[in-house]
Amino acid sequence: MIVMVEKEGISRSDGIVSALTYQYLNISAGFVLTVIGAVIYFKEWLTPALVILGIPMMIALIYPPVISAVLNFGFKMFKFDERCDAIDFRKALIYLFCHMICWTIYGLAFYFFIKSISNASFFMIFALTAVFASSYIIGFLSFFVPGGLGVREGVMSASLSTLLPAPIAISIALLSRVWLSAAEILMYVSLPFIKPRKAPKD
């Protein structure tokens, strides 16, 4: 992402800050939707302790000092010189909401993907969004495995097996990797055709 935006004339420093900020807010939004989905659908799994811990964590995720601290840790881990000293709380909320919309669309697409294979009720949409988001995030955070290969599928199949028969859950988890990879490749191949035109020079 950093290399590609740099080719579009955006400085490397801005690319680094925006890329890590994007990933942080994306993961935070996915976590929020996972908790919401769990509260709505997996009520029998929940305990007061989970709710008590989940809500403060959701609030902390969008608290500016927490965002700055996490981003600065990321910069240090990747050996970047950049620092993040302040995050606008209002903008953080807006970006988080936009990411939540994206995750919701992912969940809807995941539902239709599963619907093409098995009998999935539309009322499972919240649970499926939570399953998709949590498995994707856990796979993404598994830095020791390229692309979260195997980790994401394991989490997804284990979660789906509570909603669907185990063989179908495993099949969906494996096929979803092909489905997502095909979508990403298709988008990458189409980039030259949707590249925005540069503004004319004065």
Residue at 106 is within a domain: yes
pTM, two decimal places: 0.77
| pLDDT band at residue 48 using 50, 70 and 90 as cut-offs | low
Run of H or E including 71:
helix 64-77
For residue 44, the model assigns a pLDDT of 57
Run of H or E including 133:
helix 125-141
For residue 80, the model assigns a pLDDT of 76
Residue at 172 is within a domain: yes
Q: What domain range is 144 assigned to?
A: 2-194
For residue 136, the model assigns a pLDDT of 87
Cα separation, 91 vs 95, whole angstroms: 6
Residue at 201 is within a domain: no
Residue at 55 is within a domain: yes
Cα separation, 159 vs 128, whole angstroms: 9
Number of domains in the chain: 1
Query: Could you tell me which residue, 42 or 34, shows the higher pLDDT?
Result: 34
In this prediction, residues 76-105 reach a mean pLDDT of 82
Residue with tokens 């185990």: 166
Cα separation, 85 vs 201, whole angstroms: 34
pLDDT at 32 over 90: no
For residue 197, the model assigns a pLDDT of 58
Residue at 140 is within a domain: yes
Residue at 200 is within a domain: no
Q: What are the Cα distances from residue 174, in Å, to 129, 135, 160, 164, 170?
A: 17, 12, 12, 15, 6
Residue at 167 is within a domain: yes
Q: What are the Cα distances from residue 84, in Å, to 90, 148, 201?
A: 16, 27, 32
Average pLDDT over the chain, rounded to an integer? 80
For residue 110, the model assigns a pLDDT of 92
Nearest to 61 by CA among 93, 106, 104, 109: 93
In this prediction, residues 182-198 reach a mean pLDDT of 76
Residue at 175 is within a domain: yes
